[in-house]
Structure 1
Amino acid sequence: MKKQILFLAACMAYGFTQAQDIVSGQVPSVILNAFTTTYPKASDVEWEKEMKFYKVEFETGWNRDHEIWYDETGEMIKHQEDISVGELPEAVNNIINTDFKGYGIDDLERITSKDQVVYKMELNSLLQQDYDLVVDAKGNILSKMVD
């Protein structure tokens, strides 16, 4: 499972390197309708065409950034959003409180790809090494890199 997630991330990263900014009028209606139906109050909306995918960056509320990738049929491929610590599942909180006691959480994101949800964060400590961490919803550490 970990290899599949890393492979998907690598493929998406490679596929998204050829980005081109576009206006909403250049976005296929099936994608634009899917987006506006789900996020009618989105603000600061910016679209990009990246290979065969459409990426939209936007905000909801005063401090909640989102990035969503859609395929050409309007299906959401990936959704990356800023979240607060209070939105972490109990299993994720447990692993952080157990394995990273005394660390602060920064730059917390929930990343949804199809039915897979992971949480990406920076863990900071004044006295210990900082880490970039990716954890699944069950509390399994998928990636731990020194920051």
Structure 2
Amino acid sequence: MKSMILTMAVGLLLSAGNLLAQDIPHSHVPSVIVNKFSAQFPKARDIDWEQKGELYNVEFELGRNVDHEIWYDKNGQIVKHKEEINKSSLPAGVTSTLQRDFKGYRVDDIEKITEGTAVTYKMELDSFTKDWNIIMDARGKILQQNAD
């Protein structure tokens, strides 16, 4: 009985998730958003659109398989932009914190996240004994640190 209830609960949660974020064809994205996206990222490829509530989310690649994810509002304004970056692109404050507090860790899966004027850096830090998911601001202040 418990497993049947659990199965039903999981099914309902998955259904609710599908209602919140749905893949949509390019033709269903408002033209103001498509026009701004095309102007800002003319070389984008592997483009996938979703609608999440009132926001339009696009995932795409630029350059040599550099992943990007952007959320647009209905007026075509960027609300949030995640982009994959290299360790060499991290600001000096972040690099300094990594060298001081995480010596010996391998830095992996780095994302630069821009929301309005706020820029943060999300990354995985891996070692033989412990792994972390870290978010820092550009000065290297740790905003969030969770064991992985």
By the TM > 0.5 criterion, same fold? yes
Match of 1:86 among 85, 88, 93: 88
Classify 1:17/1:119 alpha carbon distance in 2 versus 1 (closer, same or farther; 3 Å): farther
Larger radius of gyration: 2
Query: Structure 1 vs Structure 2: percent identity of aligned residues?
Result: 48
1:1-147 superposed matches below 5 A: 18-126=20-128, 128-147=129-148
Evaluate the alpha carbon distance shift between residue 141 and residue 46 of structure 1 in structure 2; reply closer, same or farther with a 3 A threshold: same
Structure 1, unmatched stretches of 5+, are 1-14
Q: 1:137 and 1:18, CA in 2 relative to 1: closer, same or farther beyond 3 A?
A: same
In structure 2, runs of 5+ residues without a counterpart are: 1-16
> Residues 65 and 81 of structure 1 are in contact (CA less than 8 Å); yes or no, is this contact kept in structure 2?
yes
Deviation digits for residues 33-66 of structure 1 (CA, Å, limit 9, x no counterpart): 1100010000000101111000000000122001
TM-score, length-scaled by structure 1: 0.86
**Contact kept in structure 2, 1:16 and 1:51, CA below 8 Å:** no
After superposing on structure 2, the runs of 4+ consecutive aligned residues of structure 1 that deviate more than 2 Å are none
What is the CA–CA distance in structure 2 between the aligned matches of 1:16 and 1:122, rounded to whole Å?
28
Task: Quote the residue 2:13 is aligned against.
Answer: none
Q: In the comparison of the two structures, how many residue pairs are matched?
A: 132
TM-score (structure 2 length as normaliser)? 0.86
Look up the equivalent residue of 2:109 and give its one-letter code: D
Mark the CA change 1:41 to 1:106 in structure 2 (over 3 Å): closer, same or farther: same
